[in-house]
A and B are shown apart, each in its own frame.
Chain A
Amino acid sequence: MSTILIIFCVLAAITLSTAFLTIFSKNPIHSAIYLVICFFSIAGHYLLLNSQFLAIVHIIVYSGAIMILFLFTIMLMNLNEEREVHRPRITRLGAIVSFCLICLVLIAIFINSKPIVGEYVTTGEDYQSIKVLGKILLNEYMVPFEFASILLLVAMIGTVLLSKKEKLQK
Chain B
Amino acid sequence: MNTLIAIIGLGVLCLLFEIFNLRKAIVPIIIIGLLGVLGLTISEFNSTESYYNNMIVVSKFSSTFSSLFIVLTIFLVALGHNFYENHQSKISDFIAIKVFLLAGAVAMVSFGNLAMFFLGIEVLSISLYILAASNRMNLKSNEAGMKYFLMGSFASGIILFGICLIYGAMGSFDVTEISELSQSAELPIWFPIGIVLVTIGMLFKVAAVPFHFWAPDVYEGSPALTTALMSTLAKVVATATLYKLLSVMNADISESFKIIVVVISMASMTVGNIMALRQTNVKRMLAFSGISHAGFMLMTLLSLSTSAGSLLYYASAYSLSGIAAFSVILYVCKNRDNEDIVNFHGLGKTNPLLAAILTASLLSMAGIPIFAGFFAKLVLFNQTIQAGYLALVIVAVVNSIISVGYYFKLILAMYTKEPNEERKGTPVIIYAVAVIAIVLNIALGLFPSLVLDLLS
Interface residues, chain A, CB within 8 Å of chain B? 109-110, 112-114, 116, 139-144, 147-148, 150-151, 153-155, 157-164, 166-167, 169
A143 partner, pick from B52, B96, B127, beta carbons under 8 A: B52
User: How far does the alpha carbon of A146 sit from the alpha carbon of B338 in the complex, in Å?
Assistant: 40
Q: Find out whether the CB atom of A143 lies under 8 angstroms from the CB atom of B116.
A: yes
Could you jot down 7 A-B contacts, CB within 8 Å?
A: A140-B55, A147-B123, A150-B100, A154-B126, A157-B97, A157-B100, A158-B97
Kindly report which residue of chain A lies nearest to residue B113, judged by CB atoms. Answer: A144
Kindly report which residue of chain A lies nearest to residue B117, judged by CB atoms. Answer: A144
Supposing A161-B130, A162-B136 touch, asked if A144 and B55 sit within 8 A by C-beta, the answer is yes
CB of B89 within 8 A of chain A? yes
Within 8 A of A (CB), among B1-28: 8, 11, 15
Supposing A109-B193, A143-B51, A162-B134 touch, asked if A154 and B97 sit within 8 A by C-beta, the answer is yes
Q: Find out whether the CB atom of B94 lies under 8 angstroms from the CB atom of A169.
A: no
Known contacts A140-B53, A157-B93; 16 additional CB pairs below 8 A are A110-B189, A141-B115, A144-B115, A147-B119, A150-B100, A154-B123, A155-B126, A157-B15, A157-B96, A157-B100, A158-B93, A158-B126, A161-B130, A162-B130, A162-B134, A164-B90
Kindly report which residue of chain B lies nearest to residue A141, judged by CB atoms. Answer: B115
Q: Find out whether the CB atom of A166 lies under 8 angstroms from the CB atom of B89.
A: yes
User: How far does the alpha carbon of A113 sit from the alpha carbon of B186 in the complex, in Å?
Assistant: 12
Contacts of B119 in A (CB 8 A): 144, 147-148, 151
Contacts of B93 in A (CB 8 A): 157-158, 160-161
| Nearest chain A CB to B114 CB, angstrom units | 10
B123 partner, pick from A141, A143, A151, A161, beta carbons under 8 A: A151
Contacts of A161 in B (CB 8 A): 90, 93-94, 97, 130, 134
Within 8 A of A (CB), among B131-169: 133-134, 136
| Nearest chain B CB to A115 CB, angstrom units | 10
* B interface, over-half SS: helix
Kindly report which residue of chain B lies nearest to residue A116, judged by CB atoms. Answer: B188
Contacts of A142 in B (CB 8 A): 52, 55
Q: Find out whether the CB atom of B189 lies under 8 angstroms from the CB atom of A151.
A: no
What size tier do the contact residues of chain B reach? 35 or more
Q: Find out whether the CB atom of B120 lies under 8 angstroms from the CB atom of A147.
A: yes
CB of B218 within 8 A of chain A? no
Supposing A116-B188, A158-B97 touch, asked if A151 and B126 sit within 8 A by C-beta, the answer is yes
Q: Find out whether the CB atom of B100 lies under 8 angstroms from the CB atom of A153.
A: yes
- The 0/1 profile, CB within 8 Å of A marked 1, for residues 197-231 of chain B is 00000000000000000000000000000000000
User: How far does the alpha carbon of A140 sit from the alpha carbon of B190 in the complex, in Å?
Assistant: 25
- The 0/1 profile, CB within 8 Å of A marked 1, for residues 86-129 of chain B is 01111001101100110110010000010110011011001101
User: How far does the alpha carbon of A164 sit from the alpha carbon of B94 in the complex, in Å?
Assistant: 13
CB of B56 within 8 A of chain A? yes
User: How far does the alpha carbon of A158 sit from the alpha carbon of B193 in the complex, in Å?
Assistant: 34
- The 0/1 profile, CB within 8 Å of A marked 1, for residues 25-53 of chain B is 00000000000000000000000000111
| Nearest chain A CB to B107 CB, angstrom units | 6
User: How far does the alpha carbon of A153 sit from the alpha carbon of B127 in the complex, in Å?
Assistant: 10
Q: Find out whether the CB atom of A151 lies under 8 angstroms from the CB atom of B53.
A: no
Supposing A161-B90, A161-B94, A167-B89 touch, asked if A147 and B188 sit within 8 A by C-beta, the answer is no
Contacts of A148 in B (CB 8 A): 119
Q: Find out whether the CB atom of B126 lies under 8 angstroms from the CB atom of A113.
A: no
Contacts of A154 in B (CB 8 A): 97, 100-101, 123, 126-127, 130
Kindly report which residue of chain B lies nearest to residue A139, judged by CB atoms. Answer: B53
Q: Find out whether the CB atom of B116 lies under 8 angstroms from the CB atom of A147.
A: yes
Q: Find out whether the CB atom of A150 lies under 8 angstroms from the CB atom of B127.
A: no
- The 0/1 profile, CB within 8 Å of A marked 1, for residues 288-319 of chain B is 00000000000000000000000000000000
Q: Find out whether the CB atom of B129 lies under 8 angstroms from the CB atom of A158.
A: yes
Kindly report which residue of chain B lies nearest to residue A169, judged by CB atoms. Answer: B88
Kindly report which residue of chain A lies nearest to residue B131, judged by CB atoms. Answer: A158
User: How far does the alpha carbon of A142 sit from the alpha carbon of B113 in the complex, in Å?
Assistant: 12
User: How far does the alpha carbon of A151 sit from the alpha carbon of B94 in the complex, in Å?
Assistant: 15
Contacts of B97 in A (CB 8 A): 154, 157-158, 161
